[in-house]
Amino acid sequence: MAKLLLELLSEEIPARMQVRAAQDLERLLGQGLAAAGLPFAGTRALAGPRRVTVIVDGLPRVRADVEEEKRGPRVGAPDNAVRGFLKGAGLDSLDQAEKRATDKGEFWFAVIRKKGGPTDAVLPQIVIDAIRALPWPKSMKWGSGTFAWVRPLHSILALFDGKPLPGQLELGGTMPPLRFGNRTRGHRFLSAGEIMVEAVAGYSRQLRTARVIVDQAERQAVIRAKVETLCAQNGVALLADDALIEEVTGLVEWPVPMMGTIDAAFMDLPPEVLTTPMRAHQRYFATVKPDGSLADRFVVVANMITKDGGTEVIAGNERVLRARLADARFFWDQDRKVRLEDRLPALKDIVFHAKLGTQHERVARIVALAGEIVAHEKSGFFKGVAAAHVEQAARLCKADLVSGMVGEFPELQGTMGRYYARHEGLPGPVADAIAEHYAPQGPNDRCPTAPVSVAVSLADKLDMLTGFWAIGEKPTGSRDPFGLRRAALGVIRVIVENGLRLPLGWAMKADASDLIPFFADRLKVQVREQGVRHDLVDAVFALGGEDDLVRLLARVQALQAFIGSEDGKNLLVAYNRAANIVRAEEKKEKALREKIAGAVDAALLQAPEEKAVAAALQAADAKAGPALAGEDFTAAMTALAELRAPLDVFFDRVTVNADDPALRLNRLKLLNRIRATIDRVADFSKIEG
């Protein structure tokens, strides 16, 4: 068995593309090997700033002969079918095919024999095909070539069974081809010249000597460990930031964390104002003191060991940060001179969407909507909330968009509004609502719970949804440029997590009638993730017309709990026995559905067993009806489950399809009533036994 090592060395690859590219190369190589009939034991993908590498283990040195059979058309089939078969199998005439008898008759068969041979004879083409098929999100040409890669590709290291694999990649134009070789390069500045790789086993070690950690997982672990040590030595702790660690792992081949100090002159700025430029612009890690407050230390992960031990690097980074924070300080001081209220006219200059007007107009809609939400909520959630607070928070919620700070750091929207509102001495709930009305931004984001925040958050999202719906900008497939799915999920979470009794129907404009089903779909996705059975969700959704999400969810949850119980099983059996026979009869007779829709004729109830069922139905309905109205779904279902016993006796002793058509119809009516009554809880026909 032999190993294949393939390393593609290029100029710096964007961090976000590296791991995906290595995995794609791994997959494409694997597919190519499989297609060529080359088995292998395993593959490994390594990714970094300048190289993607794949190692394939357990390849045979010699490829066995392969025989492949293709069945063709029946003997005596029309000419064009035969021609197609010959062409597909690469045969010249039927003389090269053989006739074989099968249990379906005599067919033509082609036996294609692929001669095996040394693996290294086919590997170069497999490698080239994989390279050419690699899908970069964005690729480019360079020099005079026509070949496209993410950035200029400099070398291809290809080693098979300890020997350089011969081969070359054509770059097109007047560029010389890139020959495969057994050489690569180390760190851009910490290593000189080329490195000759002699064995797959030595690859990582040789590159480590040349100051490159080729494995992204190892690089990440090294960063974590070194950063934590550095923090511990300085009496601070790293402010966890997995996304940033991930990105930094793609920015360095040889991680060298260094600690810098934030100029004391800036430490009075709000923590977000300090950390946002650090993270977004500089990729620095923030640190915290033991009490959890922001420390004046930051960590930069350099890609370099410098001969002065990092003095210049730290000084340079501190200087850059000082300039960034001086900008932030300027905005902070300037912004606080203007009241949020006085910023509102400037919102007229910001177009929210060409068809949906300016932010100023949008704010007017949010104000109105927030008021209506408070008025329509039925659980008393907003009891005692000052209407003036809701109105003020809604009116000011977008004012910080025209502040200098948010202009520079859009991700601070809302956060800055709260600081500025507090600075002005606005009521706490108003300030908080300005910050919180964007939440929740995703499934892991905190959901607002304060009443004023809840009202503005819902108004903000509902305005977006109804607005974009009205202009026909609905999400399609994977396209959701305005984040409407996220907004809908936000609405669901705010309503459900706060137990709001807020039917959504009133908020939907006439031209947004399909918005409720959109919500339903989002809700389905959400509850499915929580382990709710999808058939139960479907069963409740099939009732239709429900726009109260809390009630809807309560029903699904009650159903899920009930269906697992003994009563639940009884109810399902009762339902299926009744429904199956009605459905079967409906199939035979199209007009039956209408005929059995009416009430049961008590006079036609003859057998004591059917009288018992009718009585039980009446009793169950008498209990289930009020329970449903009171939203006690479990009680309703418990009552209905009592139908099983009389129904079992009924089916044992009574023939539904009686000879007397009037009796038959009445019995079907009775069963249909049972079905309809149970269907008021959920569409039980959707539940999988």
Partner 1 sequence: MVQRTQGRLSQGGNAWGIKTVSSPMDVPKPTCFQELILTLQQYWAGQGCVVLQPYDMEMGAGTFHVATTLRALGPSPWRACYVQPSRRPKDGRYGENPNRLQHYYQFQVILKPSPNDILDRYFGSLRAIGIDPDLHDLRLVEDDWESPTLGAWGLGWEVWCDGMEVTQFTYFQQVGGIEVELVSGEITYGLERLAMYLFDKKSVYELPFNRPGSEVPLTYGDVFLRNEREQSAYNFERADTEILFRHFADAEKECQSLLGNADNRLALPAYDQCIKASHAFNMLDARGVISVTERQAYIARVRALAKACCEAWLEGRT
Contact residues for partner 1, defined by CB under 8 A: 11-12, 14-16, 138-145, 150-152, 154, 173, 188-190, 192-193, 251, 282, 284, 300, 302-304, 306-308, 312-313, 315-317, 319-321, 323, 326-327, 330, 351, 354
Distance CA 179, CA 157 (A): 9
Q: Which helix (H) or strand (E) holds 285?
A: strand 285-288
Three-state DSSP class for 418?
helix
Give the pair of three-digit tokens for residue 340: 């949020």
Distance CA 362, CA 530 (A): 34
Give me the phi and psi of 294, to 5 degrees please: -65, 130
Given the complex with partner 1, which of 66 and 471 has the nearer CB atom? Answer: 471
Q: Which helix (H) or strand (E) holds 662?
A: helix 661-679
Q: How far is CA 541 from CA 80, 194, 594, 605, 678, in A?
A: 52, 65, 24, 35, 15
Given the complex with partner 1, which of 302 and 338 has the nearer CB atom? Answer: 302
**Residue in 418, 440, 415, 420 with CA at minimum distance from that of residue 429:** 418
Distance CA 359, CA 346 (A): 9
Three-state DSSP class for 47?
strand
Give the pair of three-digit tokens for residue 549: 């999400």
Burial of 473: CB neighbours in 10 Å, binned 0-12, 13-18, 19+: middle
Provide, for the chain, the percentages of residues in helix, strand and coil under a 3-state DSSP scheme, each rounded to the nearest 5: 55, 15, 30
Burial of 658: CB neighbours in 10 Å, binned 0-12, 13-18, 19+: middle
Give 606's Cβ-side CA count (13 Å radius): 13
Which residues does residue 111 pair with via DSSP β-bridges, in sequence order?
A: 69
Distance CA 301, CA 279 (A): 12
Task: Judge contact between 214 and 246, C-beta under 8 A.
Answer: no
Given the complex with partner 1, which of 91 and 313 has the nearer CB atom? Answer: 313
Distance CA 370, CA 441 (A): 19
Task: Judge contact between 9 and 153, C-beta under 8 A.
Answer: yes
Burial of 106: CB neighbours in 10 Å, binned 0-12, 13-18, 19+: exposed
Q: Distance from first CA to last CA of the chain, Å, rounded? A: 51
Closest CB 483 distance from partner 1, rounded Å: 20
Q: Which helix (H) or strand (E) holds 273?
A: helix 271-276
**Residue in 681, 467, 653, 669 with CA at minimum distance from that of residue 563:** 681
Eight-class DSSP state of 634: H
Q: Which helix (H) or strand (E) holds 367?
A: helix 359-376
Distance CA 376, CA 545 (A): 18
DSSP string, 142-203: -TT----BSS-EEEEEEEETTEEPP-EE---TTPPPEEEESEEE--TTT--SEEE---HHHH
Q: Which helix (H) or strand (E) holds 331?
A: helix 311-335
Q: Which helix (H) or strand (E) holds 421?
A: helix 415-424
In the chain, the amino acid numbered 27 is R
Give me the phi and psi of 215, to 5 degrees please: -90, 120
Q: Which helix (H) or strand (E) holds 579?
A: helix 566-588
Q: How far is CA 490 from CA 395, 448, 481, 527, 665, in A?
A: 20, 10, 16, 14, 50
